[in-house]
Amino acid sequence: MRIVFFGSSDFAIPALKALKEGGFAPELVVTKPDAPRGRGRKIYPAEVRLAAEDLGLPCEQPKDPHGADFLKQLGDLKPDLGVVVSYGVIMKPELLAIPKQGHINAHASLLPLYRGAAPIQHAIRDGHKETGITVMKIGDELDAGDVLLYEKTAIEPTENSGQLRSRLAELAGKALVRALELIRQGKDDYTPQDHGKASHAPKVEKEHGVIDWSLPAVEIDLLVRAMTPKPGAQTRLGAKRFIVMEGTVEQDLYGMGIPGALQSAGEEGIRVCTGKDLYRITRIKPDNGRNMTAGEFVRGHQIAPDARFG
């Protein structure tokens, strides 16, 4: 089976490795061009290209994967199947039509839940206990294709989106190897999604991470976990902005505090009053500063007795 692999972010790399190790080495890896990053706008090599080189796989980086030259190159390869993982390009019909058996995609949710760019953050923020990888056929509508299989996993009670993303990237590789075995054996039965149950997960922006301390501590914890490491759960103390990196919910026996007010601050954490119960911050970082424990923060900052996050 001649496979072309499409992927751009580091999320795609474990899947690419799994395909090679599972006996489904792609004939070609396609990723985005090398691009500038950071304040200096230095050009960095695409991570998927580096991974392909390490695996001894040919790689192309078309500026426009729908351009005539690349479409001809892909057509000349006569692929049987396209495999897409976090490519970040909406494929047009002329590209989708080239492989004989179309394209399959590994999406980081249990579709039809959380179609879109940020399924991992949304699943945590909404308090789901389970998520997974869906392998589906790519069609005209985004993340709405027929489903070949699911690989499910629990969302751990303290897991943040970065940690869950790493696990799901590995799970995507496992799911795709399973899917390709079914396709090779001619046992690939696809099930249409129930579009009436679909939910959407648009890109998460910085403003979505602002902490509202009037919410219950449980909801604040979900927000912090969903927004860590990016784009960050933000709050202010005086004129300064901070990113809450980690914390835990504690019962508030008295419930008399003003939301955002500090009940206590020490080595064990910064206890903040919320709409219900306390949220004990255990790791925090100043905006553009380093990630530190609550104890390090308390020792390095003068905190007024009436201090209040807001």
User: Any idea what the CATH number is for the domain that residue 243 is in?
Assistant: 3.10.25.10
Q: How far apart are CA 281 and CA 213, in angstroms?
A: 13
- Tally of domains in the chain: 2
Rg of the chain over CA atoms, in angstroms?
Answer: 23
Domain boundary among 172, 197, 222: 197
Give a yes or no: residue 271 inside a domain.
yes
Task: Please name the residue that has the structure tokens 């955002």.
Answer: 260
| 165-224 residue pLDDT tens | 999 999 999 999 999 999 999 999 999 999 999 999 999 999 999 999 999 999 999 999
Give a yes or no: residue 307 inside a domain.
no
Same domain, 173 and 261: no
Same domain, 102 and 192: yes
Task: Report CA-CA distances (Å) from 114 to 121, 135, 136, 174, 287.
Answer: 10, 14, 14, 21, 30
Same domain, 170 and 222: no
CA nearest to 243, candidates 292, 304, 299, 298: 292
Report the percentage of the chain scoring pLDDT > 70.
99
138: CB partners within 8 A, 6+ apart:
82, 84, 91, 96, 102, 103, 104, 105, 145
Same domain, 247 and 136: no
For residue 112, cis peptide bond before it (omega within 30 degrees of 0): yes
Domain boundary among 142, 166, 197: 197
239: CB partners within 8 A, 6+ apart:
none
DSSP reduced 3-state for 308: strand
> So what's the pLDDT on residue 306?
84
> So what's the pLDDT on residue 301?
83
Range of the domain at 103: 3-197
Give a yes or no: residue 263 inside a domain.
yes
Same domain, 159 and 282: no
Give a yes or no: residue 21 inside a domain.
yes
Number of CB atoms found within 10 A of residue 199's CB:
15
92: CB partners within 8 A, 6+ apart:
66
Task: Please name the residue that has the structure tokens 């500063």.
Answer: 289
> So what's the pLDDT on residue 142?
93
Same domain, 193 and 210: no
> So what's the pLDDT on residue 76?
97
Sheet architecture: strand order including 3-7: 59-60, 28-30, 3-7, 81-85, 103-107, 130-137, 147-154
> So what's the pLDDT on residue 101?
97
Q: How far apart are CA 284 and CA 243, in angstroms?
A: 6
- Alpha helices per DSSP H over the chain: 13-21, 47-54, 68-77, 93-96, 119-125, 161-184, 217-227, 294-300
Give a yes or no: residue 138 inside a domain.
yes
CA dihedral sign of residues 29, 166, 168, 288:
negative
CA nearest to 118, candidates 244, 7, 230, 6: 230
Strands (E), 38-170: 42-44, 59-60, 81-85, 103-107, 130-137, 147-154
Same domain, 211 and 184: no
Same domain, 56 and 190: yes
CATH of the domain at 43: 3.40.50.170
Domain boundary among 142, 169, 197: 197
Residue-level pLDDT, tens digit, the chain, 310 residues: 999 999 999 999 999 999 999 999 999 999 999 988 767 777 889 999 999 999 999 999 999 999 999 999 999 999 999 999 999 999 999 999 999 999 999 999 999 999 999 999 999 999 999 999 999 999 989 999 999 999 999 999 999 999 999 999 999 999 999 999 999 999 999 999 999 999 999 999 999 999 999 999 999 999 999 999 999 999 999 889 999 999 999 999 877 789 999 999 999 999 999 999 999 999 999 988 999 999 999 998 888 878 899 8
> So what's the pLDDT on residue 288?
85
